[in-house]
């Protein structure tokens, strides 16, 4: 390192330049330095011309170099924010995306439209990963009794730590898709899932930050991207209550296919596609009444 301590401004300028050249998000530099120093962004900006102590500078430089090589910022800080709350993330879980916040909001809005405000309801999140969806639902709507499943024990361990840290009441089950829900005889009023939906041929188009550091089995079904939707829709009639809400997060090209799957299984269901803030198809939502005779 330099003999003379760098200022915070100089360190950020160096990091932003390095990350921009590597095609990374230069804003990552601020996030990493905020993490190293334990400061808010406003504190960082207010102290731009303070000297950066050598120990923190070395750690910051290490993190910047690691991110340049492809390690996600969230794996370096160990945290991603979702719905305004900090969630622990690591290599065993997908890093929650802002678009998924919009899916949760769509689910909460649909629940509000379909059910009385304080009616106790059973909600199930399949493929919970970090627990972001399930925990957010439990914290945002207290009338929901939330169950979450995942086939990965490592993912469930992360989800349980997030549950404890955030004080949410969520029941976690280990197993494949809806199998543990069926085994326990749970009747589901609110179903939500963000399954692996990237088609195998699309994986090459993703950033190495994603493909080399996030769990591949949480990204793709290894097929055409629809396999998990098909399996879930096949099993839904055996778990849904007479009146239920179903919400799937989808890839932006999958709206019509997932809508068709739900309409085939539930011919009278009210199914709609919800677009995200960028105008892309992001969720398929269904209001289902009286099982298949909706």
Backbone angles phi, psi at 130, to 5 degrees: -70, -10
Pairwise CA distance, residues 125 & 215, whole Å: 18
Is residue 167 a known part of a binding site?
Answer: no
Burial class (CB in 10 A: 0-12, 13-18, 19+), 90: middle
Residue 86, annotated as binding a ligand:
no
Alpha-carbon distance of 44 to 8, in angstroms, equals 8
127 is an annotated ligand-binding site residue: yes
Q: Say if residue 150 carries a ligand binding annotation.
A: yes
Which residues 6+ apart lie within 8 Å of 129 measured at CB? 93, 94, 96, 150, 155, 158, 159, 194, 218
* Distance of alpha carbon 270 from alpha carbon 249, whole angstroms: 17
Annotated binding-site residue? 196 = yes
The verdict on whether residue 291 carries a ligand-binding annotation is no
Q: In 10 A of CB 83, how many CB atoms? A: 18
Whether residue 144 contacts residue 121, with contact meaning beta carbons closer than 8 Å, is answered with yes
Q: What token pair was written down for 163?
A: 């549950």
* 236 vs 228: CA distance, rounded Å: 12
Residue 156, token pair as written in the block: 């469930």
Separation between Cα atoms, residue 16 and residue 257, nearest integer Å: 41
Q: Is 112 annotated as a binding residue?
A: no
Is 152 known to sit in a ligand binding site? no
Other Cβ atoms less than 10 A from the Cβ of 112: the count is 12
- Which residues, 6 or more positions from 94, have their beta carbon under 8 angstroms from its beta carbon? 129, 130, 214, 215, 218, 219
Establish whether 130 is an annotated binding residue.
yes
Annotated binding site: 127-131, 150, 194-197
Annotated binding site for S-adenosyl-L-methionine: 127-131, 150, 194
Annotated binding site for substrate: 194-197
């Amino acid at each position: 390192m330099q003999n003379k301590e760098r200022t915070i401004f100089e360190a950020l300028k160096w990091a932003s330049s390095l990350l921009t050249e590597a095609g990374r998000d230069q804003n990552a530099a601020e996030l990493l330095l905020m993490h190293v120093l334990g400061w808010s962004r406003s504190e960082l900006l207010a102290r731009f011309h303070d000297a950066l102590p050598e120990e923190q500078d070395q750690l910051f430089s290490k993190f910047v170099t690691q991110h340049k090589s492809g390690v996600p910022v969230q794996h370096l800080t160990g945290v991603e924010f979702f719905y305004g709350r900090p969630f622990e993330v690591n290599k065993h879980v997908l890093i929650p995306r802002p678009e998924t916040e919009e899916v949760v909001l769509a689910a909460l809005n649909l629940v509000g439209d379909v059910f009385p405000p304080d009616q106790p309801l059973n909600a199930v999140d399949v493929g919970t990963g970090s627990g972001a969806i399930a925990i957010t639902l439990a914290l945002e709507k207290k009338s929901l009794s939330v169950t979450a499943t995942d086939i990965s024990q490592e993912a469930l361990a992360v989800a349980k730590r997030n549950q404890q840290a955030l004080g949410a009441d969520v029941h976690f089950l280990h197993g494949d898709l809806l199998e543990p829900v069926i085994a326990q005889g749970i009747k589901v009023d609110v179903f939500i899932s963000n399954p692996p939906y990237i088609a195998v041929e699309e994986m090459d188009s993703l950033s190495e930050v994603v493909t080399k550091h996030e769990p591949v089995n949480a990204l793709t079904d290894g097929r055409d991207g629809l396999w998990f939707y098909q399996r879930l829709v096949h099993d839904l009639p055996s778990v849904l209550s007479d009146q239920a809400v179903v919400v799937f997060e989808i890839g932006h090209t999958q709206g019509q296919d997932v809508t068709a799957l739900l309409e085939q299984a539930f011919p009278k269901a009210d199914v709609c596609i919800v677009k995200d803030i960028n105008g892309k198809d992001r969720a398929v939502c269904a209001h289902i009444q009286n099982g298949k005779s909706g």
